[in-house]
Amino acid sequence: MSTTEPSDGAVETRGIEPVPNSQRHARTRDLLPTWMAANITVLLLTMGATLAVSYGLDLWQTLVVATVAPAVSFGLVGLIGIAGKRGGAPGMALSRAVFGQRGNLLPGALIWVARWGWETINAVTGAYALLTVLDIVFGVRSNTFLVLVTLLLFVVATFAISGLGIDAVHRCNRWAVRLFAAFSLLVLGRLVARTDWDEVLRRPAGPTHLMIVGIGLIAAGGISWVPSAPDFTRYLPRGTSSAAIVRDTLGGAVVVVLPLTLMGAVMAVTTPDLASAADPVSFLGAALPLWLAVPYLLIALVGMLLINAMSMYSAGFTAQTLGIRLPRPWAVSVNAVISLLLGGVLMLVAPSFIGSFLAFLTLLAVTFSAWAGVFGADMLRRPAYDAVALLDTTRTSAYWYRGGFSPAAVAAWAIGLGCGLLFTTSDWFTGPLATGNPVGAYGLGWAATMVTSFLLYAVLPKPPVGPGAEPAEERATMAV
């Protein structure tokens, strides 16, 4: 991607301040490798196996789940990404226009904490991949010291890429998706040749309601990217096609999620333990021949590294909107340290990685859906964002509203979040209304959250917007 954002050498130094129109030279086709890279994770194989083994879905049901889930979740990512080209700022900075300068601290803090968990899960998976390669190539067995060293190496590499900025992320994404695609085709070819397709195709269909649960499970990962969507579209010119943003976002996700989920479901026919392996990465290493396992796991390691780099890149902006007064590259370091500490706990203490991962995904989707419902409803009525007001955190800001809060947005967010949790169940938490109704039975707590937040914000009276909050393009350009 060619941009001219201010930088010190190769480091992007722009923080949450909106990008001037004169420096917005990105292209929507850059979104394709971006969202492909965001899904390069062997955990999709594990989730595909879960659909087959734990949910009892057949191949055709899994095909439906693996198509609908990314279409729903990354369709939302693409739609919210339109706000990035309108305002030229990161998602959580634009969120100030919706919730108010102080009100935005509430969903911002919760989303920031949720990112700790997402980055921890990916860091642990990456460390497992490195440990597996060391084991099968050099015979080095895992121990506490090696676990911590591999985790540290992964987090440091993640910090390096995300700290450099958007250009580094895009360059790495383009190379990673090419390599991953090539070796995934090799794995797929071997799978096709060695699979007993009669056994795969004669598996009975599972319950329809578990298909809906499966859609929610796979979609949860995509929903976690919704608040980050504008972070990767803010360098697009204001005249960029909105349809192209949604198309390339959606296409990049589906082309990875669909085949990996199906591969996991097919592999589970002969290796059902994939759905519950304590260390899914080493399990895959044992299931593949050495010549294929090593490069595939190394490329998957790079993919998980890039997922974390993208997440930390966004987390740096979130930290800045919360008032952490550090340059963007160093704001990223806060999340790096936290994911290192939590990753060590998960690898050394947690009894079940997969159980922890699935429970976290469930709660993650609810957390991000509350924000998405409010922000999405606001996008329908707001064609532009005031660059001056976004950065003005004082009472003079057009986005100060009432005491720094937008009562409609904060109320819709809080009620939607509470409603979703009432209907949510996981290994860590069970809401009081999670049983005995379709919403809870189908794992649709996240959907209830989003719908409730969206509708409430749409009907609640909004506070008046201060002067200049719907600026002309020239005003937004002059502001930065």
The per-residue pLDDT for range 454-469, each reduced to its tens digit, is 999 999 999 876 544 4
Residues 6+ apart with CB under 8 A from 101: 392, 393, 394, 397, 399, 400, 404
Query: What pLDDT sits at residue 350?
Result: 61
Query: What pLDDT sits at residue 171?
Result: 87
CA-nearest of 403, 410, 384, 407 to 468 is 384
Pairwise CA distance, residues 190 & 244, whole Å: 35
Residue 118 structure tokens: 């997402």
* Residue 396: Cβ-neighbour burial (10 angstroms; 0-12, 13-18, 19+): exposed
Q: Which residue has the tokens 């990962």?
A: 221
Pairwise pLDDT comparison (303 vs 437), residue with the higher score: 303
Cβ distance 270 to 81 under 8 Å? no
Query: What pLDDT sits at residue 64?
Result: 97
Pairwise CA distance, residues 174 & 195, whole Å: 31
Confidence of residue 9 (pLDDT cuts 50, 70, 90): very low
Pairwise CA distance, residues 184 & 148, whole Å: 29
Confidence of residue 243 (pLDDT cuts 50, 70, 90): very high
Question: Over 90: is that where the pLDDT of 451 sits?
Answer: yes
Please report which helix (H) or strand (E) contains residue 253, including its range: helix 242-270
* CA angle at 248 for the pair 243 and 252, rounded to the nearest 5°: 150
- Of 137-146, 205-214, 416-425, the poorest mean pLDDT is in 137-146
Query: What pLDDT sits at residue 378?
Result: 96
Residue 338 structure tokens: 């936290």
Query: What pLDDT sits at residue 10?
Result: 63
Q: SS3 for 327?
A: coil
* CA angle at 426 for the pair 420 and 428, rounded to the nearest 5°: 105
Neighbours of 286 (CB within 10 A): 12
Q: SS3 for 107?
A: helix
The DSSP 8-state label assigned to residue 29 in this structure reads G
Report pLDDT digits (tens) over 331-361. Answer: 777 878 888 887 777 777 665 556 666 677 7
- Which of the residue ranges 190-204, 213-227, 239-253, 302-316 has the most confident prediction, judged by mean pLDDT? 239-253
CA-nearest of 231, 235, 168, 313 to 480 is 235
Between the two ends of the chain, the Cα-to-Cα distance in Å is: 21
Question: Over 60: is that where the pLDDT of 391 sits?
Answer: yes
Phi, psi of 103 (to 5 degrees): -60, -30
Cβ distance 89 to 256 under 8 Å? no
CA-nearest of 478, 455, 453 to 468 is 478
CA-nearest of 329, 341, 311, 337 to 228 is 311
Pairwise CA distance, residues 261 & 267, whole Å: 10
Query: What pLDDT sits at residue 307?
Result: 87
Cβ distance 227 to 95 under 8 Å? yes
Query: What pLDDT sits at residue 472?
Result: 37
Amino acid at 449: T
Pairwise CA distance, residues 360 & 265, whole Å: 21
What sign has the CA pseudo-torsion 347, 353, 356, 361?
positive
Question: Over 90: is that where the pLDDT of 46 sits?
Answer: no
Q: Which CATH number fits domain 23-352: 2.40.50.140, 3.30.9.30, 3.40.50.300, 1.10.4160.10?
A: 1.10.4160.10
Confidence of residue 474 (pLDDT cuts 50, 70, 90): very low
What distance lies between CA 410 and its chain's CA centroid? 23
Radius of gyration of the chain (CA): 22
% of the chain at pLDDT higher than 70: 90
The pLDDT of 408-415, averaged and rounded, is 97
Question: Over 70: is that where the pLDDT of 110 sits?
Answer: yes
Query: What pLDDT sits at residue 329?
Result: 72
Residue 384 structure tokens: 């532009």
Confidence of residue 282 (pLDDT cuts 50, 70, 90): low
Cβ distance 411 to 455 under 8 Å? no
Question: Over 60: is that where the pLDDT of 4 sits?
Answer: no
CA-nearest of 264, 252, 301 to 78 is 252
Pairwise CA distance, residues 308 & 39, whole Å: 11
Residues 6+ apart with CB under 8 A from 381: none
* Residue 1: Cβ-neighbour burial (10 angstroms; 0-12, 13-18, 19+): buried
Residue 375 structure tokens: 């922000």
Query: What pLDDT sits at residue 465?
Result: 64
